[in-house]
Structure 1
């Protein structure tokens, strides 16, 4: 069979085979034995079919083996895909939860920053804004979208913080605190915090409006001061008044005896020594009367204070303060307050003002004392000391102005005029303007106790003017 197949293939492959394909099946006489042709063809077909079947069987076996391997591989892949899918689903679920938590935390933090009553500004090292909360928008009038990404000092130059403060906080790695205030208007505590463990160095600026707290603290302090001053004034006046009355009585008795001539030898009543003795006694009596007036003022201050405002005529309060000033203001070796020319410019029918009369009277007494000191400093030949007082109604408020032509205030003195005087004790810096030139108590009484306004305008050469405004409704 194999040989026949090989022969058949050889015949087919031979070019001559196509010339006479039936030559192997011819008889000697040249006729073709078709039976042999049929048998040969059948055998060849059977062989070919057998080979095809064998090839198909082998191919099937291989395909089956490959299919089994592929099924196994697919099973492993499906298992890995299921495991990976489950893991991805878990990771996605965790990522979704984490994302929600991050969004919730971010929204919570953002709401905290936006709801803070403090101004919060985030800056990088170059001064570019990275955070700008709602309070910052309200104070500056600049929206967050317009602020973030911009240089702070280019869009909001009014802020007190300077670039050197940013550098100082970053270099030291510590928070620095600044105080920015305008007495009677606002008080701000500014803190610059450096950011730690952050890839891009920067700072956070917190601006806390402590105006109400400072006002409340100042009111408490001044109320305590006024109460203590009232008690002290009453005690001092009572303690001083008894020996003073004894001294004045002895002076009057000695002066009467001296005038009667009983203490002097006859004929010496008009001697220079007698005249000098009379002058000394008169001066001592005058000083005693001034001390007596001061005691009356202290007693009036101690007894006249009230917890509720009372309607009063400011002109009467001013005139009473002037009367007290004439009694108590006098410096040795210079002119007394009575020599000062007082120019009054009062509007007719000035409305009544609800006020604390005793405290308001002390305010004007402090102003007249301040003006008197300035006039003394300028006393020279030909100088005519003068104080002008203006009182007029201005819309729904009463405007008061006290001017003098003495030595005015420098810019530094004006800056510290209404601030409390602090003595240096090693921890508190000595103030540049002394207590004699301070009007902190007067400023408190006007601005805090009476909810009014007080300001000063001054020139060292021409004098000063104190402006007060009180609501009368």
Structure 2
């Protein structure tokens, strides 16, 4: 037997390095879980902020179709979210305003104007005309516009006030002019005119009271200033926004509650309105309240003209948008933070729509596949030029949606950017929740090439360790038949010499006449040789020796064949395997481990179907548990003076599963260590008799690589039963459904 070229120190160093690498992988997995948890927390905070907002918040794509609406939108417009998502926003805009709205937002899109304000009327589900004042912000991905985000408030009451004031002024001016003309021309009806004027004044007072009540109840600030910017009229909300009492605000100039920069903004806009006569629908500026707090306002302003059409001041409505700006800033920060966290995760994250189009493609996906996010967004997944096991991926996605549950793909082969074949570990999850997000499937993955190499090395090391431990027993098992084969061959060799003597004498008997020796004399010599060589005995025993020799050779052949099947299964991919044969081969290989301490009983179901699995993995699992069972029984029987223990192995089919049971009559597993038995490097054996890898490797092989299960029942003083359950067919072993294929051009 050739000695190993590596020293114990080298092997120990390799084992320590392997432990460190596995620990690093576990730490990386913990970090990923924490990052994902933080990301989900940030997402919940962001959506809670939107859900609790008092304003309408909605988003559209670049074509104007709704992609998100908040509950306030549903309440004000009377439509449900399901009715709104996918509809065009112009369908809600009043017909007389659609062309102007399309032109305004088309200009914002083409010129990439980041923030705008626009007032427009919408028609609710009940037919009510609702005016909205809305701030619209472009949604950007790099330099590309991906949609619109709007925050809007119902300004219907404000519009009603403005329209009522306008109608009232026109009515009053007409009335005064008519009455004045009548007074000049018809002195005779002076009494009647005085009466009508009093009636008009009463109506005016009533109208003023009505609209004053409206002004005092709205949340927005209403104000009127003269041409120099001094307040001449304002409502309670305007005073409240600025933090002053009404008495303190009366007559104040805007320079008293704005800093120089914002005073310039107001002067410039008011001057433009004065010069052009055109009202402004969106002036953004800051005020400093009485207590020194900065508040952000948005105001719409128009000219006040006297009866002769000469400008005498300005009127406007201001809205405090401080909290709205803070919410938008928090929303942007949440978006940025979430994006940073997701792109910092060293795992592939791909979101796919229900029609298999790419909706999200993170930095790790770019790094692994060499395709930038902007190159793949919106494209079908099966059109991407990725050299990987595409059919395997397609089947995984289809199965995930069909079963509405996660699907794991542990060995997805792909071509790495360095030109070498790699392996991806993929998890495919269905996405539940808001259908407007259009996400049907989330693909998570990692390049596990190095990990798989280490696992295979670890499994091979475990297999070599097992072979090394079994070598002496295997040699003994082979030596026993070889010994009596050798004895029988030696017997046949000596027997041939005796038979040859008898044959030689028979030849001399034939030639006796030629040599002049009597036939009777030669015959006596032959009879003597037959008696000396015990020819009768030889003719009886030689066939028996040949049968024993052939039996011994057959036993050696079976042992060698079992070793070969165990140590060199000949494949790393899943194929249909006879589990009963695998059990029998492993029993043969490990015979010397159990035959001195236990009687082994098998109950293998003859009609057991073939199982799709990696034979080498299953051989190793059965061997690990069988050797553990033999060692557990050995601790009970010790020197064998009380007889042997018992090991039972059975197989059976349970629906779509095959179950292997391995039971022993050992001492059982103590309760305190039961949670740890599948942990890597956990062992209760003394140094040199185990590395603690056997059950850990078995668990990985059964659960992770074959999507099965491995469990145990144990009772102190009575023994342990391990149950290995394997799916008969790989869940992904089916033909691609119609319309699902991987054929990138």
Q: TM-score, normalised by structure 2?
A: 0.29
Q: TM-score, normalised by structure 1?
A: 0.43
Asked which structure has the greater RCO (Cα within 8 Å, sep 6+), the reply is 1
Q: Whose strand proportion is higher, 1 or 2?
A: 2
